[in-house]
Amino acid sequence: MNYLNTSISLLFDPLSLFFLFVILLVSVPSAIYSIGYLKGQYSSGKIMLGWLLFTAFVLSMALVVTAGNALMFLIAWEIMSMVSYFLVIFDHTHEKSVKAGIIYIVMTHIGTTFIIASFLILFKYAGSFDFAAFKSASRTIPPNLKHIIFLLLLVGFGTKAGIVPLHIWLPYAHPQAPSHISSIMSGVMIKTAIYGMLRFIVFILGIEGIWWGNLILILALLSCLVGVIYALMEHDLKRLLAYHSVENIGIILLGIGASMVFFKMNLPVLAVLSLCAGLYHLINHAIFKGLLFLCAGAVYKATGTRNIEKLGGLIKMMPWTAAAFLVGSLAISAIPPLNGFVSEWLTLQAFFLGAISSPGGYKVFFSICASLLALTGGLAAACFVKAFGITFLALPRSKGVTEAKEATLSMKFAFVFMMLLTVLFGLAAASIIKLLVKVSGFIFSLNTGGMNFSVNNFSLAIPQSEVYLSTPLIAIVFAAIAGICFLCVHLFAGRSKITSYNTWDCGYYNLDARTEYTATAFSKPFRIAFNFFLLPYRCSQA
């Protein structure tokens, strides 16, 4: 042991604390949710085992982000993978779970191999596994070797993060785990890979070439588009959410990649801004994706299916779940004043300002990035119209749905908690960004004293430009419009002229669930629009 020059050491710098906060933010409501979720689905022994694994999982993630040397990091990282593998195959009698588990653990391990290789190169120069030694040794590493280390780390962490084309395991593994675990896996676990990238690539290695940022931006764009397009085609509720994780990791990486480019272009304010945007989206995604997976779990538990073509009309049976899913959908679709909007707005602003202040080709590149991000946002909104509409509105499409029961108290508590968080992180953007600026400044080792991204406690403002955003104001306006509409309806129409009629009847009579709009039909335009990529084919069945 002594020859490896390591001892047990923990690290609590701003970067670690930020991720630790995100982990706990999602894990605590998921734990509460699981009280109700596990009951009745599994035997009591299995529930105990579930709790054991859950605790080990959260602890290992916490250890990943607080480990003070690379050996501890690796150990925690592998324990995290192993425990999550056990959670993926929690329903081990399903052939599908075992398959998903194997794909997951093998791909993750391949990623880890790349990480180990990069650590060993760093060790050769540092003579120790300590992060501090790594950081001071990184000055002596020749640039070419740094490029190799960067690529190794990118592949290694990219596999865990699920960036395209290393995302293959993600849509298998995330849906197979019990839902409270899916919510942690999607919400937090893949973020530990982002932590790894920030810690090792940006913080320890230092950015050596501007192409690092460009490469990350291109991969991020690819992840955004591929993720959202596949999500649009998906009819398994949890797989759909898993594909959205690929998309959102892309959005987070857009912020991080852009910040790396800006940092090399010597634009510190923009670098900090876009890194803040990335980190902000990281928290936001953790919150709303966690919420959405919890809702999907409640739906699955109530109906026994995850196929949205068989669902429908759940809003009447499960109003709490429906409300929670709606809020989550609005947040992930970047609708103001909820949290998703703020971070995507920040990312877009970073691209716009980058296009203005950078030379030549980068103007075009950043504009393309911004426009593709906007496209992603639009497609994501469409996808969630489908997911919410088909699942919760209309008439029930199968028998199981009509017997669905509302979620239990502990599950509702988790919903409400997460809903409040989505609202809070939308409205309190100005205060949150102050903290994020500090974290970003720490990561880049920049002094952020002069950088101010908020004018008061209610509005975001970007220095050197005339851009402002006040989410509380938007919320007030929205509330006012809604209030006025409500008043108008009641004043002019009155109670007498509102009649309730069969759901989605459209004036016909005797329509039943079989004639309703389906998810397949809803996504058809997108299937046609992207047929160059999706390559759909027809086959007839006798």
Partner 1 sequence: MELVFILGIPLCLAIASLFVRRSSLFGIFNAFGYLAVLCVSLRLSFEITKGVTPFIPSTFFHIDALSAYFIFLIALINFISSLYSIGYLASDVKEGAITERKASGYWTLYNLFAFTMFFVTVVNNLGIMWVSIEMTTLISAFLVGFYNTKKSIEAAWKYIIICSAGIVLAFLGTILLYYTVSRHGGINSLNWTDIVSVARNLDPRVTKIAFLFILVGYGTKAGLAPMHTWLPDAHSQALSPVSALLSGVLLKTAFYAIIRFMIIVNKCVPSHYTQNLFIFFGIVSLGVAAGFMLVQKDIKRLLAYSSVEHIGIISIGLGFGGILGIYGALFHAFNHAVTKALMFLGAGSVVRKYKTSNMHLIKGVINVMPWTGVILILGAFALAGSPPFSIFLSEIMILTAGFQQGFYTGAILFLLFVGIIFAAIIYHFSRVIFGNKPQTITVTHGQITAKLSLILLLILILVFGISIPVFFDKFIVMAVEIIKG
Q: Where along the sequence are the contacts to partner 1 (CB under 8 A)? A: 1-4, 71, 74-75, 78-79, 81-82, 89, 92-93, 95, 97-98, 101-102, 105-106, 109-110, 113, 116-117, 120-121, 123-124
Say if residues 183 and 26 touch (Cβ distance below 8 Å). Answer: yes
Nearest distance from C-beta of residue 95 to partner 1, angstroms: 7
CB closer to partner 1, 146 vs 386: 146
Nearest distance from C-beta of residue 113 to partner 1, angstroms: 5
CB closer to partner 1, 101 vs 196: 101
Beta-carbon contacts of residue 327 (< 8 Å; ≥ 6 apart): 291, 338, 419, 422, 423
> Tokens 């857009």 map to which residue?
254
CB closer to partner 1, 160 vs 386: 160
CB closer to partner 1, 109 vs 527: 109
SS3 468: strand
CB closer to partner 1, 27 vs 97: 97
Q: Which two tokens stand for residue 85?
A: 């593998």
Question: What is the Cα 245 distance to its own chain's centre?
Answer: 5
Nearest distance from C-beta of residue 108 to partner 1, angstroms: 10
CA distance linking residue 347 with residue 329, whole number of Å:
19
Nearest distance from C-beta of residue 74 to partner 1, angstroms: 7
Kind and range of the H or E element at 440? helix 429-444
Nearest distance from C-beta of residue 291 to partner 1, angstroms: 30
CB neighbour burial string for 181-215, b if at least 16 within 10 angstroms, e if fewer: bbbbbbbbbbbbbbbbbbbbbbbbbebbeeebbbb
Name the amino acid, one letter, at 296: A
CB atoms within 10 A of CB 483: 10
CB closer to partner 1, 146 vs 310: 146
Nearest distance from C-beta of residue 195 to partner 1, angstroms: 18
CB closer to partner 1, 70 vs 421: 70
Q: Which two tokens stand for residue 316?
A: 């009447």
CB atoms within 10 A of CB 358: 17
Nearest distance from C-beta of residue 102 to partner 1, angstroms: 5
> Tokens 């880049």 map to which residue?
444
Closest CA to 77 of 173, 195, 253: 195
CB closer to partner 1, 83 vs 217: 83
CA distance linking residue 412 with residue 409, whole number of Å:
5
For CA atoms 436, 441, 443, 444, the dihedral sign is: positive
Q: What is the CA radius of gyration of the chain?
A: 24
CA distance linking residue 118 with residue 86, whole number of Å:
27
CB atoms within 10 A of CB 332: 30
In this structure, what are the phi and psi dihedrals at residue 206, rounded to the nearest 5 degrees? 80, 150
Say if residues 386 and 393 touch (Cβ distance below 8 Å). Answer: no
Nearest distance from C-beta of residue 94 to partner 1, angstroms: 9
Nearest distance from C-beta of residue 40 to partner 1, angstroms: 21
CB closer to partner 1, 121 vs 435: 121
Nearest distance from C-beta of residue 122 to partner 1, angstroms: 10
CB closer to partner 1, 6 vs 422: 6
In sequence order, which ranges of 127-236 are alpha helices (DSSP H)?
Answer: 131-137, 143-161, 170-176, 179-184, 190-196, 210-233
CB closer to partner 1, 106 vs 489: 106
Whether the link from the prior residue into 525 is cis, omega within 30° of 0, is: no
Nearest distance from C-beta of residue 250 to partner 1, angstroms: 27
SS3 101: helix
CB closer to partner 1, 104 vs 522: 104
Strand partners, 307: 236
